[in-house]
Each structure stands twice: as C-alpha cells, then as structure tokens.
Amino acid sequence: MLIYARPGDTVHISEMFRLVRGNQHILDVLEVLHRDQLALRIHDGAFSAMDLTARHPRTGELLSTVKFMVQTLAAAGELQRDLQRELTYDGLRAAAAKGRKGGRPPALTGETVTTVRTAFLEGRSIAALAREHHVSRGAVRTAVDDLLPEHVAAAEETPAPELPVTLDMPGKVADFLRSAELDAVERTALDQGVTVRRGQGYTLRVTAAPSVHRQLLTRCQPLDGGHDLPAVPAQRKARRDYENRVSTLAP
C-alpha cells in the first residue's frame, strides 16, 4: 500500500494493527511516512485520537511524547494479541480433549460411513456412491481415504520403525568411542548410556536401535589394529565381545 502512495497523500486504515505487527514496526512505519511525506489517518482504536506524525520543529524527530505513547500502546496491543492467541490454543486443546474437531462436520457419519466403505471395497466407484448418498465426491473420498490405492501403497512402503535394544558395551570400547567422531544419534546413545561397575572396569549399558549399535561397532573398528595402528589385546578383546553381542541382533 505504501509503495503506491505519493507525497501529500493520506493513508487511511481502520485500526493501527492492520498496518503494523509490533512495537518497532510502528516506529519504522512512521519513519517511512515522514520520509515519503505521507499523512496517516487511523479511524478506530487507541491510536485514532493521536497525531502520530507530530515532530519537533527544529530537530525533525518524532516527539518524545508521541514515541512514548506509541510504544506503550503498541506493547499493550501486542500483549492483547498474545493473550488472544493463547486463549485460542487453550480452547482448541480443550475441544480436542473432548473429542471435538474444528471445521465443517463430515457429510457422512455413523452407519452411512460403514455402508459406503463396504460398498467401496465391493467395487463401487466414488462417483456412484456420491450420487447414491447425495453428497460430493470429496465427502466419499474422506470416508474411504485409508482404503484408496495411493494410501495403501504409501503405508506398505513405509518401513516399520526399529525398536531400541539394550546392550552392554565394554568400557574400553566406550572410552574409545567417546573420543571418536560420532554423528548426533550415536553421540546421544552413548551419552545416555548407564555405567555399570564391574570390578576394576565397567560396562556401558547402551539403549539404541540395532542400526545404531552396528554403526557404533563400525566406529570402533580401529581397535582391531591395522592402518598402521597397533592393536592392544585388551581393547581388541573388548571389541570382539561387543561384536558378538551386536551380531545377535536381528538384521
């Protein structure tokens, strides 16, 4: 709107917050109005009785009293909008807890939905079902959405999530991995492990998906030696123990 205004024009708005969204935004808009020599007329709200373009005759800056009132009223307006948003969210959550959903109620309900779904599985088309029950095709599609081919195909292609598995990781393996480069998931699994003391040593009880355990096993491969790195028998044995435990996991 301000792009099309010309010097000397008056910008009319019904309420201040139709034009701006925050405290600093108001001051920025007033600077633009002053720069482009535009007048502002607010028809409703707390700002309607104020001359927001009043400036000091010598410095040309916005009057301090105007700036104070603008900032105060803008903060109050911002608080009001935040409270309205919070109350709206609280109302939506309360309605959801009671099983209510927003939006238009479904055209097909109760036994009619069961009848439509059964007929669709028997081979009836969506168009025929819509004509029979005097509803739109969209209403029928909503009732049989999970039976549509694209929905079934997507469900079949989605792999089942891996369930976390708890394995005891030898302390020497855990010490090596703590100083190794790990990704975020591996690092989280290691950091959340529970230390179990065993004599002079310890094991780290790690709970993670099988794929994460396999990744951690790969990370500690240098403990077996190779790549010009000497193999320490105790560390190699610890890695073999961990490998035996990981190998028991289902692929």
pTM above 0.75, yes or no: no
Write the DSSP string, the chain.
-TTT--TT-EEEEEEGGGT--SHHHHHHHHHHHHHTT-EEEEEESTTTTS-TT-B-TTT-PBPHHHHHHHHHHHHHHHHHHHHHHHHHHHHHHHHHHTT---SSPPSS-THHHHHHHHHHHTT--HHHHHHHHT--HHHHHHHTGGGSHHHHHHHHHSPPPPPPEEEEEEHHHHHHHHTS---HHHHHHHHT-EEEEETTEEEEEEEE-HHHHHHHHHHTGGGG-BTTBPPPHHHHHHHHHHHHHHHTS--
pLDDT digits (tens, 9 = 90+) for 63-118: 777 778 777 877 777 787 788 888 888 888 888 788 777 677 778 888 888 898 88
Residue 231 confidence class, pLDDT cut points 50, 70, 90: low
pLDDT digits (tens, 9 = 90+) for 3-28: 777 887 888 877 776 666 666 677 77
pLDDT digits (tens, 9 = 90+) for 189-221: 888 888 888 777 888 899 988 889 999 999 888
Residue 201, pLDDT score: 82
168: closest CA among 234, 246, 249, 237? Answer: 246
pLDDT digits (tens, 9 = 90+) for 237-247: 888 888 998 88
Task: Give percent above pLDDT 70 in the chain.
Answer: 84
Residue 145, pLDDT score: 85
**More confident call, 106 vs 151:** 106
Residue 232, pLDDT score: 78
What CA–CA distance (Å, rounded) separates 166 from 168? 7
Residue 23, pLDDT score: 65
- pLDDT higher than 70, residue 248: yes
What CA–CA distance (Å, rounded) separates 82 from 86? 6
